[in-house]
Amino acid sequence: MKKHFFLAIALPVAFALTSCGGSSKDNKKDNNENQQPETEVVEAEPEPEVKEPAFPWDFPEGIKNEGLAEGQQVLSIHSFYPNALKEKKDPANEGYIFYNATLSEIGDTKSKVKSFGDAIEMPNSLIIPLPEGQTAKKGDIILTWWQTGSGMQRAIVTDASDPTAPKVDYLDLNYKDDGKGFANEHANEQIKPNTFVVLKDGEWQPGAQIVVTGNDSYEVGTLVSSTDDKVLLKCFAGKIQVFDKADCIVLPLHQNLKPGDEVRAIFTSYLKDGYKVKKVDEKIGRVWVEGGFGDAIVNILEVLKK
């Protein structure tokens, strides 16, 4: 009787322990299944340093032009240069056009110019300032831009009734005897104040006509910037080139040309020998020449008296 009573109590207790706790082996298995796998931490490699493309000419990038002032009008190749520097294999061999813009911020080596609301950073050596407050007189040669067109221009003053806003003939536009050249069609055009600089005879200033004589090629170009020993020129088809200053001369603005004078005259981007002056119109800055590579009408910056 006592034996049966003991079994009656033991069996329910054993059953309860089995149902509620389970074995330690099963608990360990459940814990392993619920445990999250460890995540391996991999350190990210640093981003490679992006180097800014180098200035493509053997000339100081950070030259500061005299007369650089915030808010003034300047001439610059800002519409082409930034993309050419990033996308072209040889940006030094590209053609560029100097357009007008407003100088918005001056830096030690680079400054910002504004055009159509966008501020674009440009090397100081590729920015040509047009100082405010300039006045001109009739016959002066000035640096400006084609104000009813576009692009850098040298021009001769034909009317200085308002010396701050003179009327000009553009020298770098083509002139034709039949009156159908761009220079003819835009003759005696009035330009706005603070949009030009007067060029001075014999000075190494931006806009001056430079002749490379050292290699006897007589290549010509418009001065962009200069140092004590180098010049940066805009040459044929807008190509920018560097020359030794010792190999160059500044073409005289006034050479007292007259019919019969023997001269070198422009052919593509070079002054070629064998020309004679037929006619001169000093008011519009044009010279008629014959011989050499054929008869031509050139401007007074495209002929060199011998």
pLDDT at 7 over 50: no
Looking at the structure, tell me whether residues 98 and 134 fall in a common domain. yes
Please, which contacts does 271-276 make with residues 24 or more away whose CB atoms are closer than 8 Å? 271/211, 271/218, 271/220, 271/302, 271/303, 271/304, 272/218, 275/303
Specify the range with the lowest mean pLDDT, choosing from 40-44, 154-158, 247-251: 40-44
The model's pTM is 0.83
pLDDT of residue 3: 43
The total of structural domains in the chain comes to: 2
pLDDT-based confidence at residue 68 (cuts at 50, 70, 90):
confident
Sheet holding 73-76, edge to edge: 118-123, 110-115, 99-105, 73-76, 127-130
Q: Are residues 217 and 288 in the same domain?
A: no
CA neighbours closer than 13 Å in the CB half-sphere of residue 298 = 26
Same domain, 158 and 240: yes
Same domain, 241 and 97: yes
209 and 288 housed in the same domain? no
Same domain (yes/no): 79, 200:
yes
Report whether pLDDT(243) > 50.
Answer: yes
Question: Are 271 and 236 part of one and the same domain?
Answer: no
Q: Please report which helix (H) or strand (E) contains residue 60, including its range.
A: none
Other beta carbons within 10 angstroms of residue 248's beta carbon come to: 22
Say yes or no: 233 and 108 in one domain.
Answer: yes
Dihedral angle of Cα 127, 186, 260, 204, to the nearest 10 degrees: -10
Q: Domain ends where: 229, 250, 271?
A: 250
Alpha carbon 202 to its chain's center: 26
HSE-CB of 42 using CA atoms within 13 angstroms: 2
Q: For all residues of the chain together, what is the average pLDDT?
A: 88
Distance separating alpha carbons of residues 300 and 257, to the nearest angstrom: 9
18: in domain? no
What integer pLDDT is reported at residue 1 of this predicted model?
Answer: 45
Based on the domain organization, do 172 and 282 belong to the same domain?
no
Examine the domain organization and report whether 274 and 218 are in the same domain.
no
Q: Residues 220, 301: one domain?
A: no
Structural domain includes residue 176: yes
At residue 94, what is the residue type? Answer: E
- Does the structure show a pLDDT above 80 at 283? yes
The answer on 300 and 242 residing in a single domain is: no
Sign of CA dihedral 219, 222, 227, 232: negative
100 assigned to some structural domain? yes
Decide if 275 contacts 268 (C-beta within 8 A). no
Domain range holding 109? Answer: 73-250
* Domain assignment present for 227: yes
Residue 104 in this model has a pLDDT that exceeds 80: yes
- Cα 234 from Cα 278, distance rounded (Å): 29
Q: How far apart are CA 201 and CA 269, in angstroms?
A: 21
